[in-house]
Amino acid sequence: MQKLVIHGGKPLCGEINISGAKNAALPTLCASLLTNDTLKLRNVPDLKDVSTMLSLLKQMGVSILANDQSETELSAVHLTNPTAPYEMVKTMRAAILVLGPLLAHKGEAMISLPGGCAIGLRPVDQHIKGLQAMGAEIMIEHGYIHAKAKKLTGTRIVMDIVTVTGTENLMMAASLASGVTILENAAREPEIVDLAQCLIKMGAKIEGAGTDIITIQGVKALHGCTHDVMPDRIETGTFLTAVTASSGEIHLKGVRADTLDAVIDKLLEAGAIINSGENWIHLNMNKPPKSVNLRTAPYPAFPTDMQAQFMVLNSVADGTAIITETIFENRFMHVQELKRMNANITVEGNTAIVHGIPRLDGAGVMATDLRASASLVIAGLIAQGETVIDRIYHLDRGYERIEEKLSQLGAQIERIN
Ligand code: UD1
């Protein structure tokens, strides 16, 4: 098993490019299931979750042509097996995103139920409820969702909970339904807007993506298109937080600052000086950070995917911070690991109280999930001495060439077997 070895304590300084967004690439790859034409996606990040999704689509019969590292062409014309097996779904819950498109275009889908995951229960009841409202017949058999529909019918769907992949699944399904679908209490994440833009280029009629009411007028068929996946706002936020925690300076290219308002506000509060333009962000931190309270909530509020990274920032900040996690019930697993590095954190229910200390100590730690891994990398980069992070396969699910990018910023980081 691979590990990362980090010698920390140096400010991170330099310039890097941000990759395409994992959470935008995954649904747009699934959009290929909605048409018999070829869908060409650019700026696709080279990540484990992306290769898992490509393997899943391939075993269904989708032909895939990867032109280079970031350009992928997909054609579902010869799709034969509309099944997502447990072995794949258990490693990547986003596999549920094939459900809506398969049902809408092929009339049938067999998708393994995802089950629990490290950060919480994460049910898919809203995906199922929405598809049933559109006329799908859904049975749960032997751990699989077996869904059938001759033709989905548009309807009004009020979601009980704001769900990102739930909104994406229903938006894709509704694109080929007959009549109008109105999704209320929809998620507003930028990745939903990115998917809607791709679907619109494919011929879908969608209005309101990015608001909590999305209206989709179903069409008979969708066609191919070329789409550029948006920049990864969580990768961007992770680098900005790492540099703030290390009191360094960074210039990021290929980014969208407008998707990061809540994160940037908190970094400014911590003391960072930030400037941004159309596709760049510059951050300079010339003093130790101040503590910042935060509460995670659906977009445009502070993202749960940035909570762990801000826990580390607060660990070495001046003051005490209160962090409240409202999206996932078990997303504080990094706390035990950070405590091994001397962080002073107390957890009560869904709240963590972080008392800042001058510096963390390097230690051997274990990654437990994707964003927790990122927080441990930041901790290692600012800690005194050596940090060895085990189980970094979590990190490879969502960060492209992370050690290479960090090395560009002057970090001493090495992957070992
Ligand atoms: C997506 C992101 C993930 C991010 C999360 C929250 C992708 C591929 N992943 O995950 O990185 O952390 O949004 O911003 O885009 N829920 C239900 N029933 C459902 C669906 C969800 O109760 O049918 C609950 C979940 O358990 C969770 C909350 O709703 O507590 C939000 O989950 P959701 O937005 O669905 O997360 P994902 O789409 O899985």
Q: Which atom of ligand 1 is nearest to the CA of 303?
A: 14
DSSP for 164-225, please give it: HHHHHHHHHHHHTSBSEEEEES----HHHHHHHHHHHHTT-EEE-BTBSEEEEE--S----E
On the question of pLDDT at 33 being above 80, the answer is yes
Q: Give residue ranges with CB within 6 A of ligand 1.
A: 23, 26, 93-94, 120-127, 161, 163-166, 187, 191, 303-305, 327-328
Q: What is the pLDDT of residue 330?
A: 85
Dihedral-angle region of residue 210 (phi above 0 means left; psi in -120 to 50 means alpha; beta otherwise) = left
Q: What is the pLDDT of residue 329?
A: 86
Residue of 169, 327, 350, 373 with the most ligand 1 atoms within 8 Å of its CB, for mutation: 327
Q: What is the pLDDT of residue 228?
A: 98
Cα distance between residue 240 and residue 310, in whole Å: 10
Q: Which atom of ligand 1 is nearest to the CA of 97?
A: 8
| CA dist 120 → 231, 304, 325, 331, 367 (Å) | 27, 12, 12, 7, 16
Q: What is the pLDDT of residue 238?
A: 98
Catalytic residues: 117
Atom 32 of ligand 1 has which residue's CA nearest to it?
163
On the question of pLDDT at 118 being above 70, the answer is no
Residue of 163, 195, 229, 331 with the most ligand 1 atoms within 8 Å of its CB, for mutation: 163
The Å distance, Cα 335 to ligand 1 centre, comes to 21
The pLDDT-based confidence of 310 (bands split at 50, 70, 90) is very high
Calculate mean pLDDT across residues 69-97: 93
Q: What is the pLDDT of residue 114?
A: 82
Atom 19 of ligand 1 has which residue's CA nearest to it?
124
Beta strand residue intervals within 54-169, DSSP E: 63-68, 71-75, 83-84, 108-112, 137-141, 144-148, 156-158
Q: Please say whether the beta carbons of 252 and 241 come within 8 A.
A: no
Atom 20 of ligand 1 has which residue's CA nearest to it?
124
pLDDT tens, 211-262?
A: 999 999 999 999 999 999 999 999 999 999 999 999 999 999 999 999 999 9
In the predicted model, what is the mean pLDDT of the chain? 96
Q: Which atom of ligand 1 is nearest to the CA of 329?
A: 30
**Between 174 and 116, whose confidence is greater?**
174
The Å distance, Cα 151 to ligand 1 centre, comes to 27
Residue of 29, 132, 161 with the most ligand 1 atoms within 8 Å of its CB, for mutation: 161
Q: Which atom of ligand 1 is nearest to the CA of 22?
A: 8
Percent of the chain with pLDDT over 90: 93
Atom 24 of ligand 1 has which residue's CA nearest to it?
122
Cα distance between residue 246 and residue 286, in whole Å: 9
The Å distance, Cα 412 to ligand 1 centre, comes to 34
Q: Which atom of ligand 1 is nearest to the CA of 328?
A: 30
The Å distance, Cα 164 to ligand 1 centre, comes to 6
The pLDDT-based confidence of 366 (bands split at 50, 70, 90) is very high
Provide the token pair at 363. 């230690």
Peptide bond into 298 cis (omega under 30): no
Atom 8 of ligand 1 has which residue's CA nearest to it?
23
The Å distance, Cα 74 to ligand 1 centre, comes to 26
**Between 122 and 96, whose confidence is greater?**
96
Cα distance between residue 378 and residue 374, in whole Å: 6
pLDDT tens, 127-158?
A: 999 999 999 999 999 999 999 999 999 999 99
Q: Please say whether the beta carbons of 189 and 1 come within 8 A.
A: no
On the question of pLDDT at 121 being above 80, the answer is no
The Å distance, Cα 124 to ligand 1 centre, comes to 9
The pLDDT-based confidence of 172 (bands split at 50, 70, 90) is very high
The Å distance, Cα 122 to ligand 1 centre, comes to 7
Q: Is 287 helix (H, G, I), strand (E, B) or coil?
A: coil
Q: Which atom of ligand 1 is nearest to the CA of 327?
A: 30
- The neighbouring-strand residues paired with 207 are 215
